Amino acid sequence: MLGFSNLDLIAIVVFVCAWGIYALALDRTLYGKRGLNQRMNHFREGWMQQMLRREMRMIDGQVSASLQNGTAFFASTSLLAIGGALTLFHSSGDVLLLVEALPFGTVPTKLQWEAKTIGLCIILVYAFFKFAWSYRLFNYVAIMLGAAPPASEKDTEEAQEYIRVAASVLADAGRQFNRGQRAFFFALGYLGWFVGPLPFIVTTAGVVIVMWRRQFDSAAQRAVAKE
Average confidence (pLDDT) over 141-157:
93
pTM of the model: 0.91
Q: How many residues does this entry show for the chain?
A: 227
Question: How many other CB atoms are found less than 10 A from the CB of residue 22?
Answer: 19
Is residue 143 pLDDT above 70, yes or no? Answer: yes
Following DSSP, what letter does each residue of 137-188 receive, concatenated?
HHHHHHHHHHTPPPGGGTTSHHHHHHHHHHHHHHHHHHHHHHHHHHHHHHHH
**Rounded to 5°, angle at Cα 164 from 159 and 168:** 145
Q: Which of 190, 207, 178, 191 is nearest to 74 (CA)?
A: 178
Q: Read off the pLDDT of residues 103-123 as tens digits, 9 standing for 90 and up.
A: 555 667 778 888 899 999 999
Least trusted range by pLDDT, from 86-90, 137-141, 157-161: 86-90
| pLDDT on residue 60 | 94
Within the chain, how many helices (H) and strands (E) appear? 8, 0
Q: Read off the pLDDT of residues 213-225 as tens digits, 9 standing for 90 and up.
A: 999 999 999 999 8
Query: Using CA atoms, how far apart are residues 214 and 70, in angstroms rounded to an integer?
Result: 20
Is residue 127 pLDDT above 80, yes or no? Answer: yes
Is residue 142 within 8 A of residue 67, CB to CB? The reply is no
Average confidence (pLDDT) over 48-73:
94
How does the average pLDDT of the chain come out, rounded? Answer: 90
